[in-house]
Structures are given as C-alpha cells and as structure tokens.
Amino acid sequence: MNAVVFDYGAGNLHSLGRALATVGIDARIETDPAAAARGDELLVLPGVGAFGSAAARLRPGLAAVRASLAAGRPCLGVCLGLQLLFEASDEGPGEGLGVFAGRVTRLSARRVPHIGWTKVDGTSEMYFAHSFAARPADTSVVAAWSEHEGDRFPAIVRRGRIAAVQFHPEKSSADGLALLGRLAREVTS
C-alpha cells in the first residue's frame, strides 16, 4: 500500500514513517498541499505541532485537499491530523478541512497537556500528547472515546474512507501499530 504524508512543518514524520513501514505502507513525504491532494493513495495527516501554523501551511491547497477527500480519497489523521479534519480550533487561527463539523477546544482539565498512557474505549491504553481535543457536532463520527481528568473527548473519529486518532499509534507499542495498520486497511479497501 502507498501513502503520501503531508508535511506541514512540525509533524512527527520520522517515527510515523517508521510505523507506516512496519505495517506495510510505503510512504512518501509531500510539503506542497496541492500536490498532496493529487493522487488516490492514502493521505496521512501527521501529529505534533500547532493548529494555526499547520492550517497556514495547508491553506494554499485547502480547496484541493477538501475536494480530494470529498471524492473518496482515503485519509488517516494522527493527533493534530485529527484536529485538522475539523472546522476550526481555539488553539490558533485558520480553517481546518471541515470534513467533520465541530471545533477543537482546549482540554478542560487541571493538568494540560495530557501526556501519557490512557485507556481508549474498545481498545487498550494508547499514548497521548495533546492540549486540545475535537468537539464534534455529530457524535456519531466518534468510533472510540477517551477521558482525561473528567474531560471526555474523541479518541478515534471515522466516516467512510476517513479515520483519525487523537493519540499517537506510532508511540503506542504493538497495540498502536496494529490499530494503525487496521485503520489503513479499512479506509483503503
């Protein structure tokens, strides 16, 4: 399976690239959002970084990426990549892709950022590192929830050929890698 990883300048490209290779995905890096929108291979939106700067890097190709996803392009988002699939974020200015209706807001918890291993409904514990979480307008897109200090948030969102995780599967040991591979196979089949 082939994938293109959109590099918006702050993503966890090295560890995510290794994880993708481990689950049988040959990934190439693309810095141009319009070029990342072309093709039909799996589009991966990596984690790590801030919403505002990632949205600014995405802006020149925003319409093309939206059209590609609307046409059925498979996509996986990781951490910030999940957040970019929503409309906007309190973390910074700019538009998200708007694949999912809703906004990303700061976690409502005493300890922020939320860093560490946390239970994800329906799976084992996964490794999280985030201060913001998506708040979908339609909770039917949530495939699994997680919680940090009483703040319940989507750990996995999914609709059609698009899936995203708030945690870092590439840092979540064998269970995270297995989930990454399963989601990639599901959205590309």
Q: Which of 91, 130, 148, 170 is catalytic?
A: 170
> In the annotation, is 91 catalytic?
no
Place of tokens 């989601």: 183
Q: Is 131 helix (H, G, I), strand (E, B) or coil?
A: coil
> In the annotation, is 41 catalytic?
no
Q: How far is the C-alpha of 9 from the C-alpha of 88, rounded, in Å?
A: 19
> In the annotation, is 170 catalytic?
yes
Tokens in use for 20?
């993708």
Q: How far is the C-alpha of 85 from the C-alpha of 108, rounded, in Å?
A: 21
Tokens in use for 67?
């059209």
Give the H/E segment covering residue 34: helix 33-37
Q: Which of 30, 75, 79, 91 is catalytic?
A: 79
Please name the amino acid found at residue 103: R
Q: Which residues of 96-109 are buried (b: 16+ CB within 10 A; e: fewer)?
A: bbebbebbbbebeb
Q: Is 149 helix (H, G, I), strand (E, B) or coil?
A: coil
Name the residues annotated as catalytic. 79, 168, 170
